[in-house]
Structure 1
Amino acid sequence: MQPSRSAIVIGSGFGGLALAIRLQSAGIATSIVEARDRPGGRAYVWKRDGYTFDAGPTVITDPACLEELWALSGSRMADDVTLLPVHPFYRLLWNDGTAFDYSNDEQELNAEIAKLDPADVAGYARFLEYSKGVYEEGYLKLGAVPFLDFTSMLKAAPALAKHQAWRSVYSMVSSFVENDKLRQALSFHTLLVGGNPMQTSSIYALIHRLEKLGGVWFAKGGTNALVSGMIALFERLGGKLLLGEKVTRISHEGQRVSGVVTATGKVLHADMVASNGDLVHSYGLIEGSSYAAGKVRSLRRKRFSPSLFVVHFGLKGRYPEVAHHSILFSDRYGPLLDDIYKKGRLAEDPSLYLHHPSATDPDMAPEGKSTFYALAPVPHMGTAPVDWAQEGGRYRKVVLDRVRDLLIPDLYEQLDTCFHYTPQDFSDDLGAHLGSAFSLEPVLTQSAWFRGHNRDDHFPNLYFVGAGTHPGAGIPGVVGSAKATASLIV
């Protein structure tokens, strides 16, 4: 029997893939239209000199939200993707030599906390209880719920108020523990979804509960191996993937969208269109609509999360002493966040996330070698109009020097291959407004109903999915947004 409805999904990031799988599983003939030469969106991959370099995201939490996509059609994720556990979840490092291993092993973690301050062990236990509460309210109950009207926001308000959602993650963490390094250790997670720990709602403390319950994982073969597994599932279900087809226009007649036009001249029609692209860019594709032009103007007035500067490098030799995920903290936690989020200053002492996938999966690098990337949050191009073609080479050295000084003294001697990715690349390759890496900044006034709606208010058959919609960035966030969007369609 022919499917009765058809859909086009623009973009093949995790949100777009998850939505396409849900629609195809429900019998809606779905085509994914992707501008780049391979799927993944922000989860792109480069193969260079025998190394596999994932663009990101590289931290997989809540594998159950992914397994659910396979279960829709009675299949198993394990048939397409192998997830490997990461331990410790993160190794946190400071310039004074302090190291802190963060995991969900209670005994190990309490010992790490006691090394910083024995008095904070009890405070951490209370913080975990708080984290459990916001996880149940913010993630389990609201994570995949579409907020289409203000009434739905009002219904959620009492639960959010009970957990003091107006307070920042850092402020809430500080009410439980005294040690400043521990406060950093328990609040930095919001940076992984584009949020300033000093301003992002304390609801985001739910990430701790998420990690404690589900662990932290890595896809064997890299994050893009998870993308490949999702594509394999989608195509088995009968879905179509079009690569190298950049959408230049979303067609519309009256108050309905009718399909898309691509740069190569392809004209595709469907009963509904869903965009996994940047919100500003997506609305800009709807030509000849005063409504869409107004949306672009109002979106441009919102606060966007920072961008990233990423250095990918391969080293000769193996580095078993370097964890899979390391966080290298600057001595300036609050002031550095001000530089990134408020002042638009490019810091000479960046905090870094260092990804070392060959620690878990040696096949990510050639025999006897190691794959890394070092990621520095930097201001987006709206607050720091940097000429990255000029600045990129210099800033790459700033980042690599930090890794050398704190972790790998012979880095330059062992350097085998190296390249970097800038805010300009986020803008050029992904259509990201201002080069933002995570779309709208996750502050309370840009959350739930105040975030991009999963179904458009004007075009009833136009949908959105991904980091700019509820609940936000990160793999569980965008997969949750796909569930919310699919619930409106299916």
Structure 2
Amino acid sequence: MVRTKERGKIAVIGAGPGGLATAMLLAARGYDVQVYEKQAVVGGRSGLLQLGDYRFDRGATFLMMPQILEEIFAAAGRSLSEELEIRELESLYSLHFGDTVFSPSRNLEDTAAQIAQLFPGDEDGYKRFMRDEEAKFERIMPLLQRPFASLRDYLKMDVLRALPVLHAHESVYRRLSRYFKDERLRLSFTFQAKYLGMSPWECPGTFTILSFIEHKYGLYHPIGGVNRIFTAMARIIRELGGQVHTSCAVKQILVKNRKAVGVLLDNGERIEADHVVINADFASAMNHLFEPGLLRKYAPQKLEQKRYSLSTAMLYLGVDGTVDLPHHSVHFANDYRRNVEEMTRLKTASADPSIYVHNPSVLDPTLAPAGKTALYTLMPVPNLTGSIDWERDRERMQAAMMERLEQIPELSGLSRRVEEALFFTPLDWQNRLDVHQGATFNLAHNLGQMMAFRPHNRFEEIDRVWLVGGGTHPGSGLPTIFESARITSRLLEEEDLRLRDRGHRIKAAVETGRTP
């Protein structure tokens, strides 16, 4: 689209997935888009991490529903397949319960046959689950594609139609217990609650759709890592005439008469803007980007009353040699429920933790030198409201994580093969990436923080400020963050058109002497 004088200037704070997707969509609509990112690389908590010759995704490694990305790229006049090479995984992941390993795929019959072999009698429950969840997904998806600005939005027909299948007052675990008798199989479909930073015994049953989405639509890997999506978006923004400023932090949003008029950069430069889009961590943005005392609903004391997700301890390892594990593997604690309760309710370190291992080098040769492995490992842990002193106990927790990894047969002797290593804790998430309380998955997704009760895409407190990302509706996780970008960009443009039309009417009235 040709940029015109009528199209405004947009300042986007943060080059995370939501900020970049919003910026790309608005740039394609002719806006002058300026993205400001504090870090040296784009992608936010999902950006590229490089250690020597090894490359890692810092955060998100599961790519689901690439069709959403295809639509976003198409809306910007680009083809996703021409911008990135994306491969589907044959198996979703391997799930390890001691000696039992379950490796489902999105082939319904193959997965049912594997369930019949490993968990006899539950194969019919699996097929029933997939049928029920497909009907549920079709009703829930429209709710993730539109804004929820007030309680009146709950009275709309799409909500009333979805209400019977939302299962919001049941937990994910309880819902899955209706389909599966074997505890290990229940856990195979409930561990996805961790994507939301919650316990499956507390997470609303609505979110059983997460495991359904994986089994129905598959998992994918962009060659070069998930971070390549965001470098592609940044490149397209520039091609469309926008700019992405890295190593360029925003100090404050400039407000006049409760309306955003621009941003103040850390270097003292004042940037005028017609709209400001916040893609920074929600609570950190509320605490630091506005003049003290300006916010009411999201004042600091009120933010502390909200519930935040659990966190993650990360160990990124450049390993000499190959690793005989699939692309994704989850290694469950012997007592998984106790492990989850320790993380989420007691907020202590688990003596027997679960751990996730990402081994993309089995598919992607670009991440490590030939014959070597870029190994990403994640251990869910409490956020910074927990009892772990990460500054004092850093070395002990890193050693415990490495010990847990070496308990995996395929990783025995791993520490002797490590050439590069970085341990990243909840304290690092907070201090280095401005993630409030180190809550990697942002605000929790309990009933009081979903849909209309989650921060709105159109910011409630200051005019011409917009929110995007995991801290706003519809929530965390890449597919929903991309949906938040579509919602926010659409709302912003609609508001802009309304204001512009109103300005034209006033101007015409003045010129003709009529009362506007």
Residue 428 of structure 2 aligns to a residue whose secondary structure is: helix
State TM-score, norm by structure 1: 0.96
Report the equivalent of 1:297: 301
CA distance in 2, matches of 1:52, 1:279: 28
> Structure 1 residue 391 and structure 2 residue 393: aligned?
yes
Matches within 5 A, 1:419-458: 419-458=422-461
Which of 332, 336, 347 in structure 2 is aligned with 1:333? 336
CA offset digits 1:376-405 (Å, max 9, x no partner): 111011133x33233222212222222221
CA distance in 2, matches of 1:153, 1:369: 52
Asked if the contact 1:116–1:179 (Cα under 8 Å) also holds between the matched residues in 2, the reply is no
Report the equivalent of 1:151: 152
How many Å apart are 1:179 and its aligned residue?
0.3
Matches within 5 A, 1:464-479: 464-479=467-482
Report the equivalent of 2:38: 35
Asked if the contact 1:116–1:182 (Cα under 8 Å) also holds between the matched residues in 2, the reply is no
Q: Which amino acid aligns with 2:321?
A: G
Q: Which amino acid aligns with 1:153?
A: Y
Report the equivalent of 2:99: 97
Identity %: 29
Q: Which amino acid aligns with 1:427?
A: Q
CA offset digits 1:348-368 (Å, max 9, x no partner): 211111111101102211111
How many Å apart are 1:157 and its aligned residue?
5.3
Report the equivalent of 1:14: 17
How many Å apart are 1:10 and its aligned residue?
0.4
Asked if the contact 2:286–2:298 (Cα under 8 Å) also holds between the matched residues in 1, the reply is no
Asked if the contact 2:28–2:77 (Cα under 8 Å) also holds between the matched residues in 1, the reply is no
How many Å apart are 1:173 and its aligned residue?
0.4
CA distance in 2, matches of 1:37, 1:415: 26
Which of 367, 372, 378 in structure 1 is aligned with 2:381? 378
Matches within 5 A, 1:292-371: 292=296, 294-319=298-323, 321-371=324-374
CA distance in 2, matches of 1:416, 1:115: 40
Compared CA separation, residues 230 and 294, structure 1 to 2 (3 A): closer
Compared CA separation, residues 78 and 162, structure 1 to 2 (3 A): closer
Instruction: Point out where structure 1 has 5 or more consecutive residues left out of the alignment.
Output: none
CA distance in 2, matches of 1:70, 1:252: 33
How many Å apart are 1:292 and its aligned residue?
4.5
How many Å apart are 1:212 and its aligned residue?
3.4
CA offset digits 1:23-45 (Å, max 9, x no partner): 11111211111011111101122
How many Å apart are 1:273 and its aligned residue?
0.5
CA distance in 1, matches of 2:27, 2:69: 16
Report the equivalent of 2:184: 181
How many Å apart are 1:289 and its aligned residue?
4.1
Which of 61, 68, 89 in structure 2 is aligned with 1:65? 68
Question: May I ask how many residue pairs the two structures share in their alignment?
Answer: 486
Compared CA separation, residues 157 and 344, structure 1 to 2 (3 A): farther
CA distance in 2, matches of 1:254, 1:342: 43
Q: Which amino acid aligns with 1:134?
A: K
CA distance in 1, matches of 2:38, 2:339: 35
CA offset digits 1:407-436 (Å, max 9, x no partner): 311212222221111101111122111111
Which of 198, 214, 218 in structure 1 is aligned with 2:201? 198
Asked if the contact 1:33–1:245 (Cα under 8 Å) also holds between the matched residues in 2, the reply is yes
CA distance in 1, matches of 2:430, 2:20: 21
- Per mean C-alpha deviation after superposition, the further-off stretch among 8-17 and 158-167 is 158-167
CA distance in 1, matches of 2:166, 2:264: 46
How many Å apart are 1:219 and its aligned residue?
1.1
Asked if the contact 2:198–2:344 (Cα under 8 Å) also holds between the matched residues in 1, the reply is no
CA distance in 1, matches of 2:399, 2:104: 28
CA offset digits 1:166-208 (Å, max 9, x no partner): 1111110011110000000011112123232111111111123
Compared CA separation, residues 158 and 64, structure 1 to 2 (3 A): closer
Asked if the contact 1:8–1:32 (Cα under 8 Å) also holds between the matched residues in 2, the reply is yes
How many Å apart are 1:466 and its aligned residue?
0.4
Report the equivalent of 2:121: 119
Residue 252 of structure 2 aligns to a residue whose secondary structure is: strand
CA distance in 1, matches of 2:401, 2:152: 46
How many Å apart are 1:162 and its aligned residue?
3.5
How many Å apart are 1:163 and its aligned residue?
3.5
Report the equivalent of 1:218: 221
CA distance in 2, matches of 1:122, 1:345: 38
Residue 313 of structure 2 aligns to a residue whose secondary structure is: strand
CA offset digits 1:422-478 (Å, max 9, x no partner): 101111122111111011111122110111111112322111000011111111011
How many Å apart are 1:311 and its aligned residue?
0.4
Asked if the contact 1:322–1:356 (Cα under 8 Å) also holds between the matched residues in 2, the reply is yes
Report the equivalent of 2:140: 138
Instruction: Point out where structure 2 has 5 or more consecutive residues left out of the alignment.
Output: 494-516
CA distance in 1, matches of 2:395, 2:137: 41
CA offset digits 1:304-355 (Å, max 9, x no partner): 0011100011211112x31100001001221111111111111121111111
Q: Which amino acid aligns with 2:470?
A: A
Asked if the contact 1:273–1:463 (Cα under 8 Å) also holds between the matched residues in 2, the reply is yes
CA distance in 1, matches of 2:48, 2:329: 21
CA offset digits 1:103-139 (Å, max 9, x no partner): 1122321122112322100111111122212211222
Asked if the contact 1:33–1:243 (Cα under 8 Å) also holds between the matched residues in 2, the reply is yes
Report the equivalent of 1:106: 108
CA distance in 2, matches of 1:242, 1:258: 19
CA distance in 1, matches of 2:247, 2:34: 14
How many Å apart are 1:243 and its aligned residue?
1.0
CA distance in 2, matches of 1:206, 1:293: 31
Compared CA separation, residues 463 and 220, structure 1 to 2 (3 A): same
How many Å apart are 1:15 and its aligned residue?
0.7
State TM-score, norm by structure 2: 0.91
> Structure 1 residue 87 and structure 2 residue 90: aligned?
yes
CA distance in 1, matches of 2:112, 2:394: 41
Compared CA separation, residues 293 and 201, structure 1 to 2 (3 A): closer
Asked if the contact 2:311–2:439 (Cα under 8 Å) also holds between the matched residues in 1, the reply is yes
* Larger Rg belongs to: 2
Asked if the contact 2:281–2:442 (Cα under 8 Å) also holds between the matched residues in 1, the reply is yes
